[in-house]
Amino acid sequence: MRRFTKPFTQQLPIPESAIASAIDVMRTGRLHRYNTLQGEHSVADLLDLQFATYLGMKYCLSCASGGYALYIALLCAGVKNGDPVLCNAFTLAPVPGAINNAGGVPVLVETTEDLTIDLADLAAKAEESGAKFLLLSHMRGHLVDMDALMALCNQKGIVVIEDCAHTMGASWNGRKSGTFGLVSCFSTQTYKHINSGEGGFLVTDNDEVMAKAIIYSGSYMLFDRHPTLPPLETFSEIATATPNYSGRMDNLRAAILAPQLEGLDEQCQRWNRLYHAFADALSTLPGVRLPNRPPEEEFVGSSIQFSFPDLSPAQLSALVSGCEARGVVLKWLGDSKPSGYSSKYNHWAYLDTSRELPQTERVLGTLLDMRIPLTFDEADGQIIASVIAEVLNER
pLDDT tens for 87-103 read 999 999 999 999 999 99
Enumerate helices (H) and strands (E) in the chain, giving the number of each. 13, 13
- What is this structure's pTM? 0.96
pLDDT of residue 319: 97
Average pLDDT of the segment spanning 139-150: 98
pLDDT tier at 321 (50, 70, 90 boundaries)? very high
Helix axes 313-325, 380-393, angle to 10 degrees: 130
Give residue 109's identity as a one-letter amino acid code.
V
Contacts of 30 (CB under 8 A, 6+ apart): 36, 42, 251
Statement: 264-393 belongs to CATH 3.90.1150.10: yes
DSSP labels, 292-358: ---TTEE---SEEEEE-TT--HHHHHHHHHHHHHTT---EETT-SS-BTTB--GGG-TTS---S--H
Distance, in Å, from the CA atom of 387 to the CA atom of 327, rounded to the nearest integer, reads 9
Distance, in Å, from the CA atom of 70 to the CA atom of 57, rounded to the nearest integer, reads 17
**Residue 46 pLDDT > 90:** yes
Q: pLDDT tens-digit profile of 327-380?
A: 999 999 988 888 777 778 888 889 887 788 999 999 999 999 999 999 999 999
Domain with CATH 3.40.640.10 in the chain: 16-262
pLDDT of residue 37: 87
Instruction: Tell me the residue length of the chain.
Output: 395
Nearest to 58 by CA among 250, 230, 175: 230
Domain with CATH 3.90.1150.10 in the chain: 264-393
pLDDT of residue 92: 93
What's 16-262's CATH class?
A: alpha beta
pLDDT of residue 342: 76
Least confident of 60-69, 112-121, 251-260, 352-361: 352-361
